[in-house]
């Protein structure tokens, strides 16, 4: 397993940015160097919630294990408390960094597939809004989108309702805004200025459905004990009425990392991975097709690791090859 923490200078942000990238190793433990030449990993672009950063998914869940089990790379960016926006105030284009600059930067560093069938996006809480937003603005990029406890309809279609007041997505109000939400207000500006724009997920979804565009498959989960369950379930009902087909999960759980850990695992198992490299499965397919047969070969008398340097999947190889000394 390779967990890579990267800092780089962002031309868009004019500052140093951070991102983590998980490159999986097979559960048998083969080296990254053993993958086939030119192989590109399927990749999950995974967004954290508001106020969290790019290190938290790996810190608070067993994400590295799930990545290894399924053979999928995971990219972990962050927009902190900027709401996955190109901010209304301050000129901080977090969304453009995550959507455009950072992927191109990472494609140059890591063997990540660009193919739609190999790309997936998901997020927790505010990251769920961001993941759905990415799926709406770039549906041609992703095969599936996961939203865990996420406020998909954060920008309301009609007059601001209760959840928006609670989040403080307002520029002008006599009512006090919680300090923790002031940065969201700075990021979004007034909700009325975001309606019927690319930042309005429900508006974008309606346009795609009317046009008959091909959309990702959607996995949307919110626990019944979640503080925003009521609003999320209302949004889910609206999505059904709009005609969106999606996995609608309303189980038990709160707005926390335990819930994230459960559902990121289930989401990775749910997505249609097609081009996963798993050495043991590759060899089994070769045997079943008659390409590889059990054979006996002669090798010099020396330690196995010396004979086959870098080959760590020797337990699999020994299942098909009988060795004897010269």
Give the Cβ contact number of residue 92 at 10 Å: 21
Q: What is the mean pLDDT of residues 10-23?
A: 94
* pLDDT greater than 90 at residue 150: yes
Cα radius of gyration rounded to whole Å, the chain: 23
Query: Which range (43-57, 85-99, 215-229, 294-308) has the least confidence?
Result: 294-308
Higher pLDDT pick, 311 / 151? 151
Write the pLDDT tens digit of every residue in 218-269. 999 999 999 999 999 999 999 999 999 999 999 999 999 999 999 999 999 9
Residue ranges with strand state E in 274-320: 295-299
Quote the pLDDT of residue 28: 47
Quote the pLDDT of residue 310: 44
- Cα 135 vs. chain centroid, distance in angstroms? 11
Neighbouring residues of 56: CB distance < 8 A, sequence distance ≥ 6: 48, 257
Query: Which range (128-132, 158-162, 214-218, 254-258) has the least confidence?
Result: 158-162
For residues 16 and 10, what is the distance between their CA atoms, to the nearest angstrom?
Answer: 6
Picking from 204, 6, 5, 18, the residue whose alpha carbon sits closest to that of residue 94 is 18
Q: Are 81 and 184 in contact (CB under 8 A)?
A: yes
Write the pLDDT tens digit of every residue in 114-131. 999 999 999 999 999 999
Express as a percent the part of the chain with pLDDT over 90: 57
Residue ranges with strand state E in the chain: 2-10, 15-23, 43-47, 73-76, 119-124, 144-148, 217-221, 247-249, 295-299, 321-325
Higher pLDDT pick, 308 / 198? 198
pLDDT band for position 178 (50/70/90)?
Answer: low
Write the pLDDT tens digit of every residue in 268-314. 999 999 877 654 554 445 455 555 444 444 444 444 444 444 444 44
Query: Which range (15-24, 104-113, 193-202, 274-283) has the least confidence?
Result: 274-283
Q: Which domains does the chain have, with CATH numbers?
A: 2-270 (3.40.50.1820), 279-325 (no CATH)
């Amino acid at each position: 397993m390779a967990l890579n923490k990267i800092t780089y200078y962002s031309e868009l942000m004019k500052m140093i940015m951070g991102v983590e990238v998980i490159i999986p190793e097979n559960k048998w433990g083969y080296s990254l160097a053993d993958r086939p030449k030119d192989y590109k990993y399927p990749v999950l672009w995974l967004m954290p919630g508001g106020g969290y950063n790019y290190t938290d998914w790996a810190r608070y869940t067993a994400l590295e294990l799930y990545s290894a089990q399924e053979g999928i790379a995971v990219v972990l960016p962050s927009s902190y408390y900027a709401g996955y926006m190109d901010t209304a105030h301050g000129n901080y284009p977090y969304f453009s960094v995550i959507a455009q600059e950072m992927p191109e930067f990472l494609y140059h560093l890591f063997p990540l597939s660009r193919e739609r069938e190999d790309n997936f996006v998901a997020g927790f809480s505010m990251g769920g809004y961001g993941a759905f937003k990415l799926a709406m603005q770039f549906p041609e990029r992703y095969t599936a989108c996961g939203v865990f406890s996420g406020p998909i309809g954060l920008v309301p279609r009609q007059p601001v309702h209760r959840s928006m007041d609670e989040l403080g997505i307002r520029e002008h109000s006599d009512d006090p805004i919680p300090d923790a939400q002031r940065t969201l207000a700075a990021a979004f500006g007034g909700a009325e200025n975001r309606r019927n724009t690319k930042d309005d997920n429900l508006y974008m979804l309606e346009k795609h459905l009317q046009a008959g565009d091909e959309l990702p498959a959607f996995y949307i989960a919110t626990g019944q004990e979640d503080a925003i369950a009521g609003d999320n379930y209302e949004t889910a009902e609206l999505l059904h009425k709009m005609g969106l087909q999606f996995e609608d999960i309303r189980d038990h759980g709160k707005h926390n990392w335990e819930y994230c850990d459960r559902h990121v695992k289930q989401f990775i198992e749910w997505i249609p991975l097609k081009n996963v490299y798993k050495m043991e499965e590759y060899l089994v397919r070769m045997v079943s097709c008659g390409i590889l047969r059990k054979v006996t070969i002669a090798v010099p008398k020396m330690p196995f690791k010396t004979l086959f340097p870098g080959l760590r999947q020797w337990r699999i190889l020994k299942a098909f090859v009988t060795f004897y000394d010269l």
